[in-house]
Amino acid sequence: MTVKDLELTGRHTSVAVPQLMVQGVLTWLRSRLVSGAVCVCVGACLLLHYCSVCQNKSWQKLKTMVHFSPFVVSFKKRYPWVQLAGHAGNFQAGEFGRLLKRYCECEQQCLQKLMKDTLRPYVPGYYGVVQRDEQDYNLMDDLLADFDSPSIMDCKMGSRTYLEEELTKARERPRLRKDMYDKMVAVDPGAPTEEERAQQGVLKPRYMQWRETLSSTATLGFRIEGIKKADGTCNTNFKKTKQREQVMQALKDFVDGNTQILKLYLERLEELRSVLDQSVFFRTHEVVGSSLLFVHDSSGKARVWMIDFGKTVPLPPDQTLDHRTPWVEGNREDGYLWGLDNLIDILSSMLPQTP
């Protein structure tokens, strides 16, 4: 369920730890772990606390990964930092409340443009590319830095989680993914077709579409990827959270029923929506796989930011998107605003109605 050898797939492969020691930890985890998100937390915490201690050593190729984030990293023992979703080993601690995310040119281009866009207050501040141990990173604000024991939620936005160009590539050069087949079977043994079963592999777009329809991505235009609460509990098991009522329950649990926090989140999302309507960047980009990061703490502070622009790409000069029109191949619509409308609607319905 949690730790296993993995077919190497691009960005999954490196973490900042000596390989042998990590393999020892992983072997221990593999032999000991039982199911449950809290156990995942503890295991990942042990491993990645160690990673952070060793963060000045060179990054090494590691043919193993911890499945199912979150990854809890103690950044220089200052405060625990949590990676709720995404690829393992992509982040390192920076200085002064900043963090380093493994370099991705597409993300760099977006963050640079976003620093000059009306969306600037809704994305992490960006400070350029830095090198550590021969690896390039994008340096950005750590959005958790100003919070005390924060509760965090990652919501992946949009009705589509793969780029149109990924579809084209998969058609031109179909590549069967055994790791995705295995992830599919782990959730639903009946999901693969007979052909996929015989091949023991699925194409990436097929897997991504299956994930979209299993969760709320296809029906609501967003899905919860993970939640970590101030009490230390973590849950990344939202693959089947699909119905509006299930989403509401997860949100209610995330804020511990605190309507004041819900209200602050709602206000922030409404502001974000009106800024998105004005944003040149947003109008001229296909925004896929990007998340909203929700953060609050017991002081009553609650904020939301847009993160992850690794699959946000510029449109041709003559094209714009409204981000609400349903997607058909070729129109490049991503359903981002449709998802945000739904999220806002759900949060509003959870608040007591004012006469």
Ligand X SMILES: O=P(O)(O)O[C@@H]1[C@H](O)[C@H](O)[C@@H](OP(=O)(O)O)[C@H](OP(=O)(O)O)[C@H]1O
Ligand Y SMILES: Nc1ncnc2c1ncn2[C@@H]1O[C@H](COP(=O)(O)OP(=O)(O)OP(=O)(O)O)[C@@H](O)[C@H]1O
Site for ligand X in 194-223 (CB under 6 A): 204, 208, 211
Q: Which does 6 bind (CB under 5 to 8 A by kind): ligand X, ligand Y, none?
A: none
**Pattern 154-183, binding to ligand Y, x per CB under 6 A?**
x-----------------------------
Site for ligand Y in 268-307 (CB under 6 A): 289, 291, 293, 307
Is 52 or 241 the residue whose CB approaches ligand X more closely? Answer: 241
Residue type, 226: G
Phi/psi of residue 3, nearest 5 degrees: -125, 125
Q: Nearest approach, Cβ of 349 to ligand Y (angstroms)? A: 25
Nearest Cα neighbor of 9 from 161, 177, 185, 163 is 177
Cα pseudo-dihedral 113, 116, 119, 122, rounded to 10: 90
User: What is the distance between the alpha carbons of residues 87 and 108, in angstroms, rounded to a whole number?
Assistant: 17
Cα three-residue angle 299-303-306, rounded to 5 degrees: 155
Q: Which does 124 bind (CB under 5 to 8 A by kind): ligand Y, ligand X, none?
A: ligand Y
Q: Site for ligand X (CB under 6 A): how many residues?
A: 9
N-terminal to C-terminal alpha carbon distance within the chain: 49
Q: Which does 307 bind (CB under 5 to 8 A by kind): ligand X, ligand Y, none?
A: ligand Y
Q: Which does 308 bind (CB under 5 to 8 A by kind): ligand X, ligand Y, none?
A: ligand Y
Site for ligand Y in 302-331 (CB under 6 A): 307-308, 310
Distances (CA, A) of 353 to 252, 256, 345, 347: 16, 19, 13, 11
Q: Which does 206 bind (CB under 5 to 8 A by kind): ligand Y, ligand X, none?
A: none
Q: Site for ligand Y (CB under 6 A): how many residues?
A: 22
User: What is the distance between the alpha carbons of residues 192 and 208, in angstroms, rounded to a whole number?
Assistant: 13
Return all residues near 284 (Cβ < 8 A) that are at least 6 apart: 314, 315, 319, 320
Based on the shown chain and the rule CB under 6 A, indicate whether residue 92 belongs to the binding site for ligand Y.
no
Q: Nearest approach, Cβ of 353 to ligand Y (angstroms)? A: 32
Residue type, 212: E
CA 73 centroid distance within chain: 16
Based on the shown chain and the rule CB under 6 A, indicate whether residue 85 belongs to the binding site for ligand Y.
yes
CB 170 within 8 A of CB 309: no
Of positions 132, 183, 229, 283, contacts ligand X by CB under 6 A: 183
Kindly list the residues in this chain that would bind ligand Y in the complex (CB under 6 A): 82-87, 90, 99, 124, 140-144, 152, 154, 289, 291, 293, 307-308, 310
Kindly list the residues in this chain that would bind ligand X in the complex (CB under 6 A): 9, 161, 183, 204, 208, 211, 289, 310-311
